[in-house]
Amino acid sequence: MNAPSRPSLTSLSADALSARVVELGGKPFHARVARREVYERGVLDYSAMTGLPSALRDALTAELPILSSAVTTSRIARDRTTKLLVEFPATAPDARPSSVEVVHIPPHDPDSPKGATLCVSSQCGCPVGCPFCASGLEGLERNLEAHEIVEQFLHGRAIGPLSRSVVMGIGEPLLNFDAVQAALAVVHDDLGLGARKITLSTVGFPERVRRAARSSPRFQLAISLHTPDDEQRDELVPAMKGVPIAEVLAAGDDWFEVTGREVTYEYVLLGGVNDSAQHAGRLARRLASRRATVNLIPYNPTQGLGFARPDAKAAEAFRTLLDEAGVVATLRWSRGLEGSAACGQLRAGGV
């Protein structure tokens, strides 16, 4: 039997933290000092918080962990991408601990002053079940809580400064949107990462996209399309079965209307499945009149899933066809391949 999780500093609201600090012999403003140290300065050890009285530091160390999670494994790929396995304690006495992967992707140029991009997860496992993706192999285990999403940012920032983030790891963020929104508010307000620097990636549940468009802070949106054909999308994105692509695109249009921010359409190029010239032509017809860009992601092979990487020429030809039809498209060969840290290779179980 596992011990269920106990409160951490990150799991308490500002008021609840203040009350706990007073219980432990401190003053309310000490709670503000502790929050600032953690979120703004990235201090994850009370003993380094010299603005707190030493007796309070000792009491907090004994009674209130800063984080609920721990990094259990860390792997660095040759291109300096780091993949972390972050474990959260069980949420009930008879439950198992849960884990997700977090990927820290530094700029290509090691001398660049820019920070890294951090890919974080919104759920343990994923209920969408895309057949080419390792993350959804075992379905949904549970939703992550807001502080568990924030903690992924704190672990990532401990590796090095962040410039961007993508909520593109394990899970479908719009199926756990309240927690994702609360977490992104902390990341925006307290960690200081601008909303334009945060991209949320979804398969595009239309009403959920419309609701997200009215949320705050206003992040960027990417919708994973993967095909221009309804029948094939039912197979490639099973949780969207029966939802016509036209409805997904209409929700994307509404997003643009409300937020003024263009949608990025993600398209994983699967060799011999959705990468033909005909697919490119039909995709171009779907998108030609829209203000949107397409992000083409050549598939990263995952053992046992039965999908292949398209060859480089086919991928470039696909991009060129979109370009010629007036659709802005980028081709993005994912990094972190040898560490299995690229899109569709994240798995709730292990690094």
153 vs 267, beta carbon nearer ligand SF4: 267
Question: Taking Cα atoms as reference points, which of 243, 211, 245 lies closest to residue 229?
Answer: 245
CB nearer ligand SF4, residue 129 or residue 228: 129
Q: Smallest distance, Å, CB 66 to ligand SF4?
A: 29
Give the nearest distance from C-beta 126 to ligand SF4 in angstroms: 3
Task: By CB under 6 A, name the one of 26, 65, 115, 136 that touches ligand SF4.
Answer: 136
Instruction: Indicate the DSSP class of residue 3.
Output: P
Residue 133 binding ligand SF4, by CB under 6 A: yes
Active site residue 101: yes
What phi and psi, each to the nearest 5 degrees, are found at residue 115? -85, -175
Q: Six-digit token pair at 285?
A: 């017809």
Q: How far is the CB of 240 from ligand SF4 (least distance, A)?
A: 9
| 65 contacts ligand SF4 (rule: CB under 6 A) | no
Give the number of residues written for the chain.
351
Q: Quick one: how far is CA 225 from the chain centroid?
A: 17
Structure tokens at 162: 């962040």
Structure tokens at 90: 């069980």
* The amino acid at 41: R
Stretch that binds ligand SF4, among 30-38, 71-79, 169-177, 270-278 (CB under 6 A): 169-177
In this structure, what is the dihedral angle of CA atoms 279, 256, 234, 336, given to the nearest 10 degrees? 70
Q: Least Å distance between CB 172 and ligand SF4?
A: 5
From candidates 130, 175, 209, 284, binder to ligand SF4 by CB under 6 A = 130
Measured in degrees and rounded to the nearest 5, phi and psi for residue 67 equal: -115, 155
Residue 125 contacts ligand SF4 per CB under 6 A: no
Between 89 and 171, name the residue whose CB sits nearer to ligand SF4: 171
Nearest CA-CA partner of 263 in 289, 226, 293: 293
Contact range with ligand SF4 by CB under 6 A, out of 50-58, 165-173, 206-214, 282-290: 165-173
> Which pairs with CB-CB distance under 8 Å and at least 24 residues apart come from 189-192?
189/217, 190/35, 190/39, 190/40, 191/39, 191/40, 191/150, 191/153, 191/154, 191/157, 192/40
Contacting range for ligand SF4; rule: CB under 6 A; set: 2-10, 34-42, 126-134, 305-313: 126-134
Would you say 277 and 271 are in contact if contact means Cβ atoms under 8 Å apart?
no
Site for ligand SF4 in 193-212 (CB under 6 A): 203
Distance from chain centroid for Cα 163: 14
The catalytically annotated residue of 101, 141, 148, 266 is 101
Q: Is 222 in the site for ligand SF4 (CB under 6 A)?
A: no
Classify strands 116-120 and 98-105 as parallel, antiparallel or unpaired.
antiparallel
User: Binding residue for ligand SF4 (CB under 6 A) from 10, 11, 135, 345?
Assistant: 135
Judged by CB under 6 A, the residue of 49, 71, 170, 294 near ligand SF4 is 170
Query: Would you say 297 and 326 are in contact if contact means Cβ atoms under 8 Å apart?
Result: no
The least distance separating ligand SF4 from the CB of residue 210, rounded to whole angstroms, comes to 19
Q: Is 37 a catalytic residue?
A: no
In the complex, residue closest to ligand SF4 by CB = 136
Q: Which is nearer to ligand SF4, 138 or 190 (CB)?
A: 138
Q: Which residues are catalytic?
A: 101, 343
Enumerate binding residues for ligand SF4 (CB under 6 A).
Answer: 126, 128-130, 133, 135-136, 170-172, 203, 344
